[in-house]
A and B are shown apart, each in its own frame.
Chain A
């Protein structure tokens, strides 16, 4: 066996750019955010209502052709405070921590929506808590997810 002084690793640091198509339903949803509205889709077959809207029903695989607007409020079904550092694939640098996000069921929806929470102390959050969606100021909205700032504690279910 030949003598190996030390194993070697070769470093590779590519910069890769992608543009993801939001599609018909995703574009409608992002357009809705720009207008300060939460759009869902409703199944013609089983009446299931989903946010974000999409082509096919998650319950029966039926077509979801009808976009419906929901009130920007719901119920917090689960949450977490993210406290560990990692590289954000959107930016290539560390995502700012800590931050809280949760699973919110919009009033009138069957599924939940995963998004940021304003509260940064999980001890002040509870499963079942009412929350409401907070948008950027109208003049600053551009039709992207970040137009929706976060959910904050709300009143009533």
Chain B
């Protein structure tokens, strides 16, 4: 396993629909300064930096060149990572590997996005990520890709739209306590069902927003006496190029999540995920995804995840709180989104989550979703 790796600090910007008050490097700087302060470090305490966003959303290529004024990375090892929705979780994984491998004692992971820069045309950017000949003509970005998945899930399980809607009702309740959240206004099931249809069966309130925001997290092998969240499992599984190949699995659309979870659970010795995790920060880009992926993660039997939200299990005061931050449904600065999950989960384990704190968190599950339904999983614990 190499060096034991701990998270000792994290920082986020407020995530908003538009941060016209700051440039990209100024936005990044907000998160980096907050993370350094949380970790009790000066800039010279960082040995290397991994940074990422998705270039097509801003039309800025070589985005690490731009970002460096905000990351403080001049004169340091500085690597860019871009893996779509998983960019943030890939940053966390890369930082982990660099520290675990003994190459650098302390690494800063920085994720950011300014989705407002393309005037809200996030779908256009996502479409350009997919095969230009076969699938761009039909694909309507993550919205329609997830809609197809939801269609299959619905056909397979018989779960109803009002059951899926409970996911965003709870997410907004949780986000009301989160000063970083983009959307925190309460919504009801009838409001979700009456919101405009985006791509059947997904409605406007089923889907995550597009946000401007940044997040930074400090990974180290030398936490000293600082409160630490230890990385206990890390796994990543890629998927096919074409969504037509991804969709062939009739029983489970996102088997990469099941595969990554099995790997990470093995590393951390997790046998009963439903009982052993104290909190989950899941990358749920839409309500339906939260249901199917809770099943992929082994948190509920196949076809029965809706019960976690219906019976209160997933509430912040429930037996298995899922996304006490409000999750992706309440803030989605894409290149930072996966890293925000890590930041929130590490704060829970470090008992540093403030108004979002869940009592007695010792073990936390974090997921990332991106591209053609590929998956990443990280498990954090209060002990190495």
Residues of A whose CB lies within 8 Å of any CB of B are: 7, 9, 12, 14, 18, 20, 22, 26, 30, 50-52, 58, 77-84, 86-90, 95, 99, 101-103, 105, 110-116, 122, 126-128, 145-146
Q: With A and B bound together, what is the CA distance between A106 and B248 in angstroms?
A: 11
Residues of B within 8 A of A12 (CB): 59
Residues of B within 8 A of A82 (CB): 140, 143-144, 147, 198-199
Asked if A110 meets B248 with Cβ closer than 8 Å, knowing A84-B143, A89-B136, the reply is yes
Q: With A and B bound together, what is the CA distance between A51 and B132 in angstroms?
A: 15
| Contact call A86/B138, Cβ cutoff below 8 A | no
Q: With A and B bound together, what is the CA distance between A127 and B156 in angstroms?
A: 9
Q: B123: CB under 8 A from chain A?
A: yes
A selection of 28 A-B contacts at a CB cut-off of 8 Å is: A9-B20, A12-B59, A20-B132, A26-B134, A77-B248, A78-B149, A78-B152, A78-B155, A78-B247, A79-B151, A80-B144, A80-B147, A82-B144, A84-B197, A84-B198, A89-B124, A90-B136, A95-B140, A99-B138, A103-B243, A103-B247, A110-B248, A111-B247, A114-B247, A122-B200, A127-B151, A128-B155, A145-B134
| Contact call B199/A88, Cβ cutoff below 8 A | no
Of the candidates A9, A89, A116, which one forms a contact with B128 in the assembled complex, judged by CB atoms under 8 Å apart?
A: A89
**Which residue of chain B lies nearest to A127 when distances are taken between CB atoms in the complex?**
B155
Q: B42: CB under 8 A from chain A?
A: no
| Contact call A81/B200, Cβ cutoff below 8 A | yes
Q: B196: CB under 8 A from chain A?
A: yes
Residues of B within 8 A of A103 (CB): 148, 243-244, 247
Q: B242: CB under 8 A from chain A?
A: yes
Q: With A and B bound together, what is the CA distance between A62 and B135 in angstroms?
A: 23
Query: How would residues 336 to 374 of chain B score, 1 for a CB under 8 Å from any chain A CB and 0 otherwise?
Result: 000000000000000000000000000000000000000
Q: With A and B bound together, what is the CA distance between A103 and B245 in angstroms?
A: 10
Residues of A within 8 A of B245 (CB): 50, 58, 111-112
Residues of A within 8 A of B311 (CB): none
| Contact call B132/A18, Cβ cutoff below 8 A | yes
> Measured between C-beta atoms, what is the minimum distance from B144 to chain A in Å?
5
Q: With A and B bound together, what is the CA distance between A80 and B152 in angstroms?
A: 10
> Measured between C-beta atoms, what is the minimum distance from B236 to chain A in Å?
18
Q: B21: CB under 8 A from chain A?
A: yes
**Which residue of chain A lies nearest to B23 when distances are taken between CB atoms in the complex?**
A7
| Contact call B151/A80, Cβ cutoff below 8 A | yes
Query: How would residues 99 to 125 of chain B score, 1 for a CB under 8 Å from any chain A CB and 0 otherwise?
Result: 000000000000000000100010110
Asked if A81 meets B124 with Cβ closer than 8 Å, knowing A58-B245, A103-B247, A111-B248, the reply is no
| Contact call A114/B135, Cβ cutoff below 8 A | yes
Residues of A within 8 A of B202 (CB): 80
| Contact call B148/A80, Cβ cutoff below 8 A | yes
| Contact call A83/B199, Cβ cutoff below 8 A | yes
Q: B250: CB under 8 A from chain A?
A: yes
Query: Which of A22, A86, A101, A127 has most B Cβ within 10 Å?
Result: A86
**Which residue of chain B lies nearest to A26 when distances are taken between CB atoms in the complex?**
B133
Residues of B within 8 A of A20 (CB): 132-133
Residues of B within 8 A of A146 (CB): 137
Residues of B within 8 A of A78 (CB): 148-149, 151-152, 155, 247
Of the candidates B140, B244, B247, which one forms a contact with A84 in the assembled complex, judged by CB atoms under 8 Å apart?
A: B140
Q: With A and B bound together, what is the CA distance between A99 and B285 in angstroms?
A: 22
Q: With A and B bound together, what is the CA distance between A118 and B118 in angstroms?
A: 32
**Which residue of chain A lies nearest to B204 when distances are taken between CB atoms in the complex?**
A84
> Measured between C-beta atoms, what is the minimum distance from A21 to chain B in Å?
9
Given contacts A20-B132, A103-B148, 10 further A-B pairs with CB under 8 A are: A9-B20, A18-B132, A77-B247, A80-B147, A80-B201, A84-B196, A86-B141, A89-B124, A102-B148, A145-B134
Residues of B within 8 A of A122 (CB): 200
Asked if A114 meets B152 with Cβ closer than 8 Å, knowing A80-B199, A89-B127, the reply is no
Q: B185: CB under 8 A from chain A?
A: no
**Which residue of chain A lies nearest to B123 when distances are taken between CB atoms in the complex?**
A86
Residues of A within 8 A of B240 (CB): 58
> Measured between C-beta atoms, what is the minimum distance from A46 to chain B in Å?
14
Q: With A and B bound together, what is the CA distance between A103 and B199 in angstroms?
A: 14
Of the candidates A87, A95, A112, which one forms a contact with B244 in the assembled complex, judged by CB atoms under 8 Å apart?
A: A112
Q: B139: CB under 8 A from chain A?
A: yes
| Contact call B244/A113, Cβ cutoff below 8 A | yes
Residues of B within 8 A of A116 (CB): 137-138
Residues of B within 8 A of A101 (CB): 138, 144
> Measured between C-beta atoms, what is the minimum distance from B140 to chain A in Å?
4
> Measured between C-beta atoms, what is the minimum distance from B66 to chain A in Å?
14
| Contact call A83/B151, Cβ cutoff below 8 A | no
| Contact call A90/B137, Cβ cutoff below 8 A | yes
| Contact call A88/B139, Cβ cutoff below 8 A | no
Residues of B within 8 A of A86 (CB): 121, 123-124, 127, 140-141
Residues of A within 8 A of B136 (CB): 89-90
Q: With A and B bound together, what is the CA distance between A46 and B202 in angstroms?
A: 37
Residues of B within 8 A of A83 (CB): 196-200
Residues of A within 8 A of B59 (CB): 12, 14
